[in-house]
Amino acid sequence: DQQVKQNSPSLSVQEGRISILNCDYTNSMFDYFLWYKKYPAEGPTFLISISSIKDKNEDGRFTVFLNKSAKHLSLHIVPSQPGDSAVYFCAAMRGTSYGKLTFGQGTILTVHP
Protein backbone atom coordinates (compact mmCIF):
# COMPACT_ATOMS: atom_id res chain seq x y z
CA ASP A 1 0.00 0.00 0.00
CA GLN A 2 1.70 3.15 -1.26
CA GLN A 3 0.73 5.78 1.31
CA VAL A 4 2.82 8.51 -0.31
CA LYS A 5 2.78 8.81 -4.08
CA GLN A 6 4.71 10.87 -6.53
CA ASN A 7 2.96 10.14 -9.79
CA SER A 8 5.44 11.88 -12.06
CA PRO A 9 8.65 9.85 -12.40
CA SER A 10 10.37 12.72 -14.15
CA LEU A 11 10.09 16.42 -14.90
CA SER A 12 12.05 18.52 -17.36
CA VAL A 13 12.23 22.31 -16.97
CA GLN A 14 14.12 25.17 -18.59
CA GLU A 15 16.53 27.16 -16.44
CA GLY A 16 14.86 30.22 -14.89
CA ARG A 17 11.37 28.74 -15.07
CA ILE A 18 9.30 27.28 -12.25
CA SER A 19 9.54 23.61 -11.29
CA ILE A 20 6.48 22.11 -9.62
CA LEU A 21 6.79 18.70 -8.04
CA ASN A 22 3.68 17.00 -6.74
CA CYS A 23 2.97 14.50 -4.03
CA ASP A 24 -0.24 12.81 -2.84
CA TYR A 25 -0.82 10.90 0.37
CA THR A 26 -3.57 8.65 1.60
CA ASN A 27 -2.99 8.48 5.36
CA SER A 28 -4.90 11.31 7.04
CA MET A 29 -2.87 10.71 10.20
CA PHE A 30 0.24 12.19 8.62
CA ASP A 31 0.92 15.58 10.17
CA TYR A 32 4.42 16.51 9.09
CA PHE A 33 5.74 16.56 5.55
CA LEU A 34 9.22 17.00 4.15
CA TRP A 35 10.96 17.31 0.82
CA TYR A 36 14.40 15.88 0.19
CA LYS A 37 16.77 16.16 -2.73
CA LYS A 38 19.02 13.25 -3.59
CA TYR A 39 21.99 12.69 -5.86
CA PRO A 40 23.03 9.15 -6.84
CA ALA A 41 25.00 7.24 -4.20
CA GLU A 42 24.43 10.01 -1.63
CA GLY A 43 22.02 10.39 1.23
CA PRO A 44 18.95 12.62 0.82
CA THR A 45 19.46 16.28 1.65
CA PHE A 46 16.68 17.99 3.57
CA LEU A 47 15.11 20.89 1.66
CA ILE A 48 11.98 22.10 3.37
CA SER A 49 9.19 20.87 5.60
CA ILE A 50 5.66 21.79 6.55
CA SER A 51 3.44 20.99 9.48
CA SER A 52 -0.18 20.06 8.89
CA ILE A 53 -1.29 23.18 10.73
CA LYS A 54 0.08 25.30 7.90
CA ASP A 55 -0.72 25.48 4.21
CA LYS A 56 2.47 27.11 2.98
CA ASN A 57 6.10 27.32 3.93
CA GLU A 58 8.75 29.26 2.06
CA ASP A 59 12.53 29.11 2.16
CA GLY A 60 14.37 31.07 -0.48
CA ARG A 61 13.62 29.60 -3.89
CA PHE A 62 11.67 26.71 -2.38
CA THR A 63 8.02 26.84 -1.36
CA VAL A 64 5.93 23.93 -0.19
CA PHE A 65 2.14 24.04 -0.36
CA LEU A 66 -0.11 21.69 1.57
CA ASN A 67 -3.76 21.03 0.72
CA LYS A 68 -5.03 18.79 3.48
CA SER A 69 -8.52 18.36 2.09
CA ALA A 70 -7.03 17.01 -1.14
CA LYS A 71 -4.22 15.20 0.68
CA HIS A 72 -1.81 16.85 -1.70
CA LEU A 73 1.42 18.75 -1.38
CA SER A 74 3.65 20.40 -3.90
CA LEU A 75 7.14 21.82 -4.03
CA HIS A 76 7.76 24.93 -6.12
CA ILE A 77 11.27 25.90 -7.14
CA VAL A 78 11.59 29.40 -8.56
CA PRO A 79 13.73 30.12 -10.48
CA SER A 80 15.00 26.68 -11.39
CA GLN A 81 18.74 26.23 -11.82
CA PRO A 82 20.75 23.43 -13.47
CA GLY A 83 22.16 22.55 -10.04
CA ASP A 84 18.64 21.66 -8.95
CA SER A 85 18.75 18.61 -11.20
CA ALA A 86 18.36 15.62 -8.87
CA VAL A 87 15.78 13.18 -7.55
CA TYR A 88 13.22 14.80 -5.26
CA PHE A 89 11.43 12.77 -2.61
CA CYS A 90 8.49 13.82 -0.56
CA ALA A 91 8.12 12.17 2.83
CA ALA A 92 5.49 12.13 5.52
CA MET A 93 5.27 11.16 9.14
CA ARG A 94 2.81 10.88 11.97
CA GLY A 95 3.54 12.81 15.09
CA THR A 96 3.22 9.67 17.14
CA SER A 97 5.64 7.71 14.96
CA TYR A 98 8.83 9.59 15.56
CA GLY A 99 11.67 8.64 13.32
CA LYS A 100 9.56 6.86 10.75
CA LEU A 101 9.33 8.65 7.44
CA THR A 102 7.24 7.24 4.63
CA PHE A 103 8.71 8.22 1.29
CA GLY A 104 7.29 8.62 -2.17
CA GLN A 105 9.03 6.96 -5.10
CA GLY A 106 10.75 10.16 -6.17
CA THR A 107 10.66 12.48 -9.17
CA ILE A 108 13.74 13.05 -11.33
CA LEU A 109 14.03 16.76 -12.04
CA THR A 110 16.18 17.88 -14.96
CA VAL A 111 16.79 21.59 -15.40
CA HIS A 112 18.16 22.46 -18.84
CA PRO A 113 20.45 25.50 -19.28
Partner 1 sequence: KAGVTQTPRYLIKTRGQQVTLSCSPISGHRSVSWYQQTPGQGLQFLFEYFSETQRNKGNFPGRFSGRQFSNSRSEMNVSTLELGDSALYLCASSPRLAGTDTQYFGPGTRLTVL
Residue 75 interacting with partner 1 (CB under 8 A): no
Stretch that binds partner 1, among 17-25, 35-43, 64-72, 77-85 (CB under 8 A): 35-43
Q: How far is the CB of 111 from partner 1 (least distance, A)?
A: 23
79: preceding bond cis by omega (within 30 degrees): yes
* Nearest-5° Cα angle at 112, 108 to 113: 150
- Please report, for residues 23, 44, 113, the alpha-carbon distance to residue 105 in angstroms, rounded to integers and kept in the order given: 10, 13, 26
Q: Which of 15, 17, 95, 112 binds partner 1 (CB under 8 A)?
A: 95
- Please report, for residues 33, 82, 94, the alpha-carbon distance to residue 62 in angstroms, rounded to integers and kept in the order given: 14, 15, 23
Residue 25 interacting with partner 1 (CB under 8 A): no
Q: Which of 85, 102, 108, 110 binds partner 1 (CB under 8 A)?
A: 102
Interacting residue ranges for partner 1, rule: CB under 8 A? 32, 34, 36, 41-46, 49, 51, 89, 91, 93, 95, 97-106
